[in-house]
Amino acid sequence: MNFCSDNVTGVSPEIAAAVMAANVGPSMPYGNDEATGKVEIAIAALFEADADVFLLPTGTAANALSLSVLAPPFGSIYCHPEAHIQVDECGAPEFYTGGAKLALLPDRAGKISADDLTEALKDENGDVHHVKPSAVSLTQTGETGAVYTIEEIRAITSVAHDHGLKVHMDGARFANAVAALNCSPADITSMAGIDVLSFGASKNGAFAAEAVVLFTPGMATEFAHRRKRAGHLFSKMRFLAAQFEAYLKDDLWLRSARHANHCMKILSSGLSDISEVDLLFTADANMLFARMPNQMIKGLRAAGFAFYDWPEEERTVIRLVTAFDTVKEDAEAFVAEARRLGNA
């Protein structure tokens, strides 16, 4: 009964079967196979755009290489203080951009805002002594479980573009956001002003599969060379493509995300009724932060539930994450045990 992360999961049976099916006979390398070509077209069609698509194995590579075509070494990238690119990627964005600076905007309930971006940019005058504002990075779904609405994304991209900045979206949990908003993928990307998307599948049932989707023309050649130079051009690309083939077929990606979100609703609605538990943020998708007594936390762990303390220094706050294969009854059992411990 592990709620630590959607990275602790196995792989969707459909995706595992697709990879096994791809393991038959020879296939041209480095993305020159038929499956990769079809998947690149399918992903572009999913976003209703004439986009360039590149497959990679990890989210860190997808984010860092995406930013490398948006920001020069002397540029700055605006992001949330808890964004993965800031706290969880070991300086990869700075490394792959050649030294671009991450500029942190205030936290607004797990998001950044158009107003704060406007304020940060108001005094920029191109002074050579300062880094050049170059890009904005949004995380959808965010690190606190918050989901940006269509209107919020459009407001941010509008400010960014008015000041000559490009916008990147870290979509490691993009499927969960689409499921939560009940919108089309294009509504919060190509039609909302996003320039580059890191479209993740690894957290939603894949072995290791991410796609960088370039909505702005003119970046593909540079990105292709950067992917190769970074060591992320797979020789046997068909195995990344096979994962996305299954991921997109019959909307497996959305069905998986909806299940994860539903299991989180069980947790959030149940825990909100327990007086000893305080939910720190609204659980828009598949992630929840809760403050509860240490004895309750110990009791839940003793009952066999796994989860992270968040942050580690604050022992009374825990993070819960649900996934495509979370057992609904496990979520119900967690709530029941927390309630029992609270009553005790």
CB count in 10 Å sphere of residue 82: 16
Q: Which CATH number is 13-251 given?
A: 3.40.640.10
As given in the structure block, the two tokens for residue 257 are 């995300």
Domain boundaries, the chain: 13-251, 253-343
The partner residues of 53 in beta bridges, in order of sequence, read: 213
CA 268 remoteness from chain centre = 21
pLDDT of residue 255: 98
pLDDT of residue 295: 94
Tens of pLDDT along the chain (344 residues) come to 999 999 999 999 999 999 999 999 999 999 999 999 999 999 999 999 999 999 999 999 999 999 999 999 999 999 999 999 999 999 999 999 999 999 999 999 999 999 999 999 998 888 888 899 999 999 999 989 999 999 999 999 999 999 999 999 999 999 999 999 999 999 999 999 999 999 999 999 999 999 999 999 999 999 999 999 999 999 999 999 999 999 999 999 999 999 999 999 999 999 999 999 999 988 999 999 999 999 999 999 999 999 999 876 666 999 999 999 999 999 999 999 999 999 87
Closest CA to 242 of 35, 26, 29, 12: 35
Q: What's the whole-model pTM score?
A: 0.95
CA dist., res. 18 & res. 308, Å (int): 32
| One-character DSSP codes across 224-266 | HHHHHHTT---TTTHHHHHHHHHHHGGGHHHHHHHHHHHHHHH
Widest Cα–Cα separation across the chain: 64
pLDDT of residue 25: 93
In the chain, DSSP assigns E strands to 52-56, 75-79, 101-104, 132-139, 166-171, 196-200, 210-214, 278-279, 287-291, 308-309, 317-321
CA dist., res. 173 & res. 140, Å (int): 6
For residue 149, cis peptide bond before it (omega within 30 degrees of 0): no
State in words which class domain 253-343 has. alpha beta
